[in-house]
A = this chain, B = another copy of it.
Amino acid sequence: LEKALIIAAGKGERIKCISKEKPKPLIKLLGLTLIERVILSLKEAGISEVFIVVGYKKEKIVEFFGDGRRYGLRINYIENDEFQRGNGISLLKAKNYLKEKFLLLMSDHIFDEEAIKRVSNFELGDFEIGIVVDRNYPNFIDLGDATKVLVKDGMVVDIGKKIENYNGIDCGIFIVRDTAFKYFEEALSKGEDTLSGMMKEIAIRNKLKAIDFEGKFWIDIDTEKELKTAKKLLLKNLFKETDGPISRYINRPISTKITELLVNLPISPNLMTVISFIISILSSILFLKGNKFYFLIAGIIAQFSSIVDGCDGEIARLKFKKTDFGAWLDSVLDRYSDFFLILGITIGYSIYKGEFSISTFLIGYFAMFGSFMNSYTAVRLDQIIEKKGIKGIRFGRDIRIFLIMIGSILNKLKLLLLILAIITNFISVKRIFFLKKEI
C-alpha cells in the first residue's frame, strides 16, 4: 500500500474560537498540527504519497505543507470548492487520482499510529472497503455526534449518526478499493453527500468489512474539549510499559508536564538528552563541595536530571523524531552520568570525612561497576529475551538515581554507595542464573 487520501476540506465550525484564521487541520496539538500528525503517522506506516482534499482556507494548508518533501513523502492537493456540502463530496473529488487500493483518513482524527500499520495490511476483495471500528469505545466519546456502526459476523450492516441499534463506533480510518467509487457515485445520485451515508451504501451491498481498532487510543476532534482530551491521551500514551516504579509514579508524571511545555519550542530530542546529561554533571560537581547542604542539593538535582532524562524520548515520540542514534546517545550518556555521579559521591564523601579511605573507594568501585552491569546485562538480556518473549528482571536507572537522592538528603553517602553496590551486583548475578534457567 503506497497511497493515502486525507479529507481536510471542511470548515470545522464547532472549534472556530480556537482555529481563528486557520482551518481546523492546522490547529496545533503538542507541537504539531492535527494534519501533520496524520501525515507523519502515514509516513511511519510506509506510505509514500498523500493526497489531501482541501477546501476551506485551502491556500493555508498548501502553503504549510508544500510538496511534502520536508516530511519525506509526496503530497498532492485535490480541490473541493463544495466544502459546504457533505464530506462525501471530498471523497468523490479524489476519484481520478486514486486508481488502486488506498487509505482514507480524516484530518481531525488523532490516533495511536500502530492502528495504521495494521490497517495497511488488511486484505480487500473487489469493491470492498475496510472500516476501523472501536467496539470498546471509551467514555469521553460524544455519542450524540459519533458515527455508530452495527457489526455482524465481521461486516458492518448499518452505519450512521442516528442509528439506534449499534455495537461500535466508526474511528474514521478506512482502507478503500478504488472500484468502490462506483457505489459512492450511486449514493450521491440518490442525494446522499455525507461520508457515512456513502458508506451505508457499501454496507447495504455487504462490502463494508469491520476492522477492530486495537491501538491504544483514537479521538475525533470537533470541539475545544475534545482537543484537550486528545492532548491528555497523547501524553498518557508516553507512559511506557517498561517503565520502572519510580519512573511510572514520580518521573513520568513530571517529565510529561515538562515535555508538554517544551514540545512547542524548537528543541530536538538529542538536545534534551545533552541537557539532562549536563544537569547530572552539575549534580556530580556539587557533591564535590563535600558538605551536607550541597549533598542535599546535589541529590535533588540528580533526581531532577533523571526526570528530565525522560523528556528526550517523549519529545521524540510526540514529534515523530525517534532515531536509532538518539536512543543510543541517550543510553551512552546515561552511563557517563552514572559514572560521574558515583565518582562525585565517592570523592565528595571523602572530602566531607577529611580522609581518603580505601573502603570508601572500594565500595564506590563496586557501586559503579554494579550500576554499569545492570544496564549492560539489561541490554544484552533484551536482545535475547525479545526473541523468546520472556519477561526479564527489571531494576533500572530510575531506582538507582532515586536511591542517590534519598541517600544524599539523609547525608548517608557511604551507606548509599554500599546499598547500590550490593543491590546492583546482586541483580546482575541474579540475571545470569535467571537466564540460565529460562533458556
Contacts and interface: CB of A to CB of B under 8 A. Distances in A.
Contact of A335 (B331, B373, B436): B373
Nearest to A437: B325
A337 to B, nearest CB: 12
B380 A332 contact: yes
A356 interface: yes
A339 interface: yes
Interface of A: 323-325, 328-329, 331-332, 335-336, 339, 343, 347, 350, 356, 358, 361-362, 364-365, 368-369, 372-373, 375-377, 379-381, 383-384, 387, 428, 431-432, 435-436, 439
Contacts of A436: 325, 329
A328 B362 CA distance: 27
A432 B332 CA distance: 8
Stoichiometry, copies per complex: 2
A332 B376 contact: yes
A377 B432 contact: no
Contacts of A361: 356, 361
Contacts of A339: 365, 369
Contacts of A377: 332
Contacts of A347: 358
A70 to B, nearest CB: 20
7 contacts: A328-B381, A329-B432, A331-B380, A332-B377, A332-B431, A335-B376, A375-B376
B368 A332 contact: no
A235 to B, nearest CB: 28
